[in-house]
Structure 1
Amino acid sequence: MPKSKTTQSLLNSTLSPYRNILKFCYFLLIFVAVGCGNNAKSKPAEDTGETRATETEAPETTSTKTILFFGDSITAGYGLDDTNDAFPGIIQQKIDSLGLNYEVVNSGVSGETTAGGKSRIDWILNQDIDVFVLELGANDGLRGVPISETKANLQAIIDAVRTKSPDTKIVLAGMQLPPNMGQEYTSQFKAIFTDLAAKNDLAFIPFILKDVGGVKELNQSDGIHPTAEGHKIVAGNVWEVLKPILDTE
């Protein structure tokens, strides 16, 4: 049955406020949607300058290189009050004073023989090493280890370094024995280092204890291990060979 005009009018007057509210909500939603769209578009523009600045600023990257001293009690600084007074620590001081980007690792073990060095070299090579300074052999000589054994052990250490890290620079420190070990043995012992350096084309320190070995005032009471003053001279002997390598790295 059709609605009467009175009923229709009443219905319109009742719904009229709700229609107005619905219209208002509709326009409000459109306004919010447009506003969010504008904000979404404008945000990148606001951040562009900041983003560009971040992109153009190259982060500072420092890759410190490592010099590892692999040796015996001379490297370890046996008998010194402060092991930083041993020649590797003095080398670090020289490096720092020149602003060179190298860190020294002292891997010296008192009493170490070439056999002992050979047994621990694989573990040592688990780290990245840029320059490897090999200072072993003195304890072999003092114990009268056969020349062929000492030479073979040193060669094995050199081979291990080159196999694991072909780009690592190797420096071999030469050693000499006191004359009381016998002329023939001391001569053959000295030749170990000369021969290995030539065979493997290594940077070579002919005698790491040059101007220190046999000098009473530069050695401790045992007459074998350098004092702090003696280590300064040893560091100079090493630095003379090491510095040109660092300049080319």
Structure 2
Amino acid sequence: MKTVLSLVSGALLSVLVGCTSDSQTATQAAEAPAAAATQTPAAPRNATPQTILFFGNSITAGLGVEPDEAFPALIGQKLDSAGLAYTIVNAGLSGETTAGGRSRVGWVLRQPVAVFVLELGGNDGLRGLPLTDTRRNLQAIIDTVRRRSPEAQIVLAGMQIPPNLGPDYATQFKKLYAEIAQKNQVKLIPFLLEGVGGVAKFNQRDGIHPTPAGHRLVARNVWTVLQPMLRQPAAVAQ
């Protein structure tokens, strides 16, 4: 089974969605240790970096499930089955907002990546944060990825929220993902939690975080968009 690296400690993963302030998130990011897991064999020096980095909140981190049950690990299993030699890095952080992600993305991108999957914004929506801020932060994260890892392909995971804060806010929140994806010409997962969100049997008791079965559906949603983008590692230059 493919090794999945995690960029956050178990303590950081204990924070529930919407329960961490932006300032706390920034502090956590500064203190986050380097991944301690053993990596799969490194690609040849002249090969294109074959790393897929999942950058998100507690959905990506797999809050409430075992690490190998979270959707990034399940994508790793699909890669193995397909014979695709990529290393998965799980940079999910529970409670993360787009502002927090913007503050820590540079730390995460210390090495180039082949694919960057951006899954943030859900906590912004649950808190009713201004959509102009969410849009600005997501754009800044994409800009940082392109500056730090110019060859990376970017996937934006769309999210939706309940209409608790009004139908107009929920509608505009949903639309901003497609608009950002189109503006930046990045791949879009229309709704990461398609078939999972609002379905009790696929969510934990909080109604927010997927169960292991829910994560399998999330992995399917991600794989549908991700798989056509992938390729075998580039040959070593002679």
Pairwise TM-score range, normalised by the shorter structure:
0.7 to 0.9
Matched, 1:71 2:20: no
Inter-partner Cα distance in structure 1 for 2:165 and 2:189: 22
Structure possessing the higher radius of gyration over alpha carbons: 1
Aligned to 2:159: 175
Instruction: Give the match's secondary structure for 1:171.
Output: strand
Aligned to 1:152: 136
String of CA shifts for 1:9-34, please: whole Å, max 9, x gaps: xxxxxxxxxxxxxxxxxxxxxxxxxx
Aligned to 2:147: 163
Inter-partner Cα distance in structure 2 for 1:214 and 1:160: 33
One-letter identity of the residue aligned with 2:51:
T
Matched, 1:218 2:218: no
Aligned-residue offset at 1:248: 8.0
**Structure 2 CA distance for partners of 1:108 and 1:146, relative to 1, 3 Å:** same
Whether the 8 Å CA contact 2:56–2:120 is kept in 1: the answer is yes
Inter-partner Cα distance in structure 1 for 2:44 and 2:133: 45
Aligned to 2:91: 107
Which residue of 94, 109, 115 maps to 1:125?
109
Whether the 8 Å CA contact 2:52–2:86 is kept in 1: the answer is yes
Q: Which runs of 5+ in 2 are unaligned?
A: 1-42, 234-238
Inter-partner Cα distance in structure 1 for 2:168 and 2:109: 35
Structure with the bigger percentage of helix? 1
Aligned to 1:141: 125
Whether the 8 Å CA contact 2:61–2:70 is kept in 1: the answer is yes
String of CA shifts for 1:10-69, please: whole Å, max 9, x gaps: xxxxxxxxxxxxxxxxxxxxxxxxxxxxxxxxxxxxxxxxxxxxxxxxxx9585610000
Instruction: Give the match's secondary structure for 2:230.
Output: helix
Aligned-residue offset at 1:247: 3.7
Inter-partner Cα distance in structure 2 for 1:165 and 1:94: 24
Q: Percent identity?
A: 58
Inter-partner Cα distance in structure 2 for 1:192 and 1:167: 25
Deviating beyond 2 angstroms after TM superposition, the runs of 4 or more aligned structure 1 residues are: 60-64
One-letter identity of the residue aligned with 1:70:
F
TM-score normalised to structure 1 length: 0.73
Whether the 8 Å CA contact 2:163–2:169 is kept in 1: the answer is no
Q: Cα RMSD between the aligned structures?
A: 1.5
Inter-partner Cα distance in structure 1 for 2:68 and 2:90: 9
Q: Aligned residue pairs: how many?
A: 189
Question: Which residues of 2 match residues 1-249 of structure 1 at below 5 A?
Answer: 61=44, 65-80=50-65, 82-247=66-231
Inter-partner Cα distance in structure 1 for 2:144 and 2:154: 11
Inter-partner Cα distance in structure 2 for 1:224 and 1:114: 18
Inter-partner Cα distance in structure 1 for 2:180 and 2:230: 22
TM-score normalised to structure 2 length: 0.77
Q: Which runs of 5+ in 1 are unaligned?
A: 1-59
String of CA shifts for 1:112-160, please: whole Å, max 9, x gaps: 0000000001111111211000000000000000000000000000000
Instruction: Give the match's secondary structure for 1:70.
Output: strand
One-letter identity of the residue aligned with 1:204:
L
